[in-house]
Amino acid sequence: MSLTFIDLFAGVGGFRLGMEQAGHKCLGYVEIDKFARKSYEAIHNTEGEWTAHDITTVTNDDLRLLRGTIDVICGGFPCQAFSIAGKRLGFAETRGTLFFEIARFAKEIQPQYLFLENVKGLLNHEGGNTFRTILSTLDELGYDAEWQVLNSKDFGVPQNRERVFIVGHSRRHSRREVFPVRRSCETPSIEIIGTVAPETAKGTNSRQWVHSVDGIVGALGAGDYKQPKQVLVKGMLDIKGKDQIRRVYGTEGISPCLTTMQGGGKEPKILDDQGRRNKEHKLHSICPTLRAQTHGNEPKVVYVKEATKRGYTEAQIGDSINFSVPNSKTRRGRVGKGIAQTLDTACNQATIENKPPYRIRKLTPRECWRLQGFPDWAFDKAREVNSDSQLYKQAGNSVTVPVIYEIAKRLV
C-alpha cells in the first residue's frame, strides 16, 4: 500500500529516495541548509510540494492544514548532540531539542507512522535517560515505539555505519510490527553448475561437481587433498552435452570463498597459474607455485605500512583508511578491511589505488555518495549545483538509502 510522507531534516533526500523506492509519495520537505536544499531540489521533483526552511518557524496552524494528508513523518533529526564524536550534550544543546519539533509536528498532523533515525549513541546517552525521554514523549502523543540498530554494511553498501531506527505507531490505527529487519545481503548458497565427470561415468560423484564462484562449496573433508572441490573461476572450455564441463580452469586464481588457508591437506587449489607471475596478490590469498628460477618473477604482495601516527598500520588494495582519527589510540578499525568506516561530514577516508604505483588517495565525493547507496544519476545532479566540500558533507550527513528502503517497504 502506498503511503504519503513528509521529509523533515531532509538533507539531500536519502529518506525520500528509500521511501519512494518502496512506492511511497513525498508531499513536502524541510531543510535549513541552503546547499543541501540545492542538491535536494536538483535530485527530486519538488514542484508544487509544501516546504519550509527552518522547522522552528512553521506554525501549528500551518501544520494542522496538513492533517489528514500525511501518513508518515520521516526524519533523521540532528545527531551531533548524541554522537560520541561530539560533546554529547543531548537535549541541553540546541540541536538536541529539535526532536521536540518532530513531536510538535506529530501532535498537529497526527500521522499513522513516525519513521526516525539517529546515531546508536542515542540509546545510552545520559545512561539511557535521553532515550527514555523520547519514548515517553511519543507515548504521551499516542505512539507505541519500536526500534532496531542496523548496520549499512548488511544492506548492500561497503560502509560500517550503525544507526538506530525508530518507528512510532499511532494507537489510532492497527499495528503491524516492522522490526526486526533482517540483513538484505543474501547468504550465498551451494550452486552446482556442472561436472567434470567423464561422459561414460555412471551415477553422480559429488567430488566431480563444479561449483559457481558466486556461491559456496560444501564442507571440506579429510579426502579433499586427493580431489579438491571444483570451482569454475573464469571461462569454460569443451562443453559437451547438458551440464558437462570437460575442463575447468581460470587465470584469476581461486574462488573468493576459499582464500583462507585450511591446512591439513585441505588447501584451496589454484586451477591455473598461467600469467600470474606479474600479478599482485592480496595478503590473505594464496601464492602460486614457487619456481626454481624466481629472479624477476617473484610473487608480489601489495600492502602499505605506515607509522601509527598516520592513523593506520597495514592496508592493502580494497581497504579504506580513516584519516579522521589519525592519532587515536583507543578507537579500533582505523583500517577498514575491504569496507569503509562510518562516513562523517568530512568523509576523510582514503583507499589504495588498484594499479601501480599504488598511491593512497582520498575517496572521491562520488564514492562517498555510493557508500550511502545513492545512484550515480543523483550524484551527478547534485554535483552540478554544489562544490566537492559540500558533496562530502552531504554524504556524511545522509542516511543510507538501502536501509531506508528495507524498512519503508514494511510500512503498510
Helix axes 401-408, 14-21, angle to 10 degrees: 40
196 is a domain residue: no
Predicted pLDDT at 358: 73
Residue appearing with cell numbers 519550509: 52
164 near 146, Cβ under 8 Å? Answer: no
Question: Do residue 176 and residue 313 come from a single domain?
Answer: no
Residue 156 identity (one-letter amino acid): G
Residues paired with residue 151 on neighbouring β-strands, in sequence order: 162
Predicted pLDDT at 317: 75
Higher pLDDT, 205 or 267: 205
User: Looking at 93-97, 155-159, 196-200, 406-410, which range is the least confident one?
Assistant: 93-97
Give the start-end residues of each E strand in 50-154: 50-52, 72-75, 113-119, 143-151
202 is a domain residue: no
> Which percentage of the chain shows pLDDT scores above 70?
65
Residue range 16-24: mean pLDDT, rounded: 98
- Domain holding 404, by residue range, is 4-184+375-408
Question: Do residue 17 and residue 111 come from a single domain?
Answer: yes
Residue appearing with cell numbers 552540478: 384
Round to whole Å and give the CA distance between 232 and 217. Answer: 11
The enclosing domain of 57 has a CATH number of: 3.40.50.150
| Three-class DSSP category at 229 | coil
Our CA dihedral for 352, 333, 396, 100, rounded to 10 degrees, sits at 180
Question: Do residue 11 and residue 139 come from a single domain?
Answer: yes
Question: Do residue 76 and residue 149 come from a single domain?
Answer: yes
392 is a domain residue: yes
Q: Is pLDDT above 90 for 371?
A: yes
- Taking only the tens place, the pLDDT of each residue in 163-173 is 999 999 999 99
With the C-alpha atoms ordered 398, 402, 403, 408, is the resulting torsion angle positive or negative?
Answer: positive
Domain count across the chain: 2
343 near 366, Cβ under 8 Å? Answer: no
Closest CA to 263 of 222, 293, 299: 222
Question: Do residue 319 and residue 172 come from a single domain?
Answer: no
Quote the mean pLDDT of the chain.
76
Predicted pLDDT at 248: 36
Predicted pLDDT at 4: 98
Question: Do residue 386 and residue 360 come from a single domain?
Answer: no
Closest CA to 392 of 351, 350, 347: 347
Alpha helices in 3-57 (DSSP H): 14-21, 34-43
235 is a domain residue: no
Round to whole Å and give the CA distance between 203 and 197. Answer: 10
Q: Is pLDDT above 90 for 91?
A: no
270 is a domain residue: no
Predicted pLDDT at 221: 63
| Three-class DSSP category at 102 | helix
Please tell me the pTM assigned to this model.
Answer: 0.71
- Taking only the tens place, the pLDDT of each residue in 299-332 is 555 656 553 344 555 677 777 777 776 555 545 4
Q: Is pLDDT above 50 for 105?
A: yes
Our CA dihedral for 246, 251, 253, 254, rounded to 10 degrees, sits at -20
Question: Do residue 307 and residue 395 come from a single domain?
Answer: no
248 near 209, Cβ under 8 Å? Answer: no
Question: Do residue 365 and residue 381 come from a single domain?
Answer: no
Quote the cell numbers at residue 143: 505512539
26 is catalytic: no
| Most confident of the following: 136-145, 219-228, 235-244, 249-258 | 136-145
Question: Do residue 312 and residue 403 come from a single domain?
Answer: no
Predicted pLDDT at 165: 97
Round to whole Å and give the CA distance between 139 and 106. Answer: 12
| Three-class DSSP category at 256 | helix
Question: Do residue 31 and residue 162 come from a single domain?
Answer: yes
Question: Do residue 165 and residue 106 come from a single domain?
Answer: yes
Q: Is 51 exposed, middle or buried (0-12, 13-18, 19+ CB in 10 A)?
A: middle
Q: Is pLDDT above 70 for 271?
A: no
287 is a domain residue: no
Question: Do residue 39 and residue 171 come from a single domain?
Answer: yes
Predicted pLDDT at 83: 47
Report, in angstroms and rounded to the nearest whole number, the Rg of the chain calculated over CA atoms.
26
What is the number of other CB atoms lying within 10 angstroms of the CB of residue 200?
5
Q: Which residue out of 74, 79, 347, 368 is catalytically annotated?
A: 79
Quote the cell numbers at residue 295: 629472479
Residue range 130-153: mean pLDDT, rounded: 93
366 is a domain residue: yes
Q: Is beta strand 72-75 parallel, antiparallel or unpaired with respect to 113-119?
A: parallel
pLDDT category of residue 154 using cuts at 50, 70 and 90? very high
273 is a domain residue: no
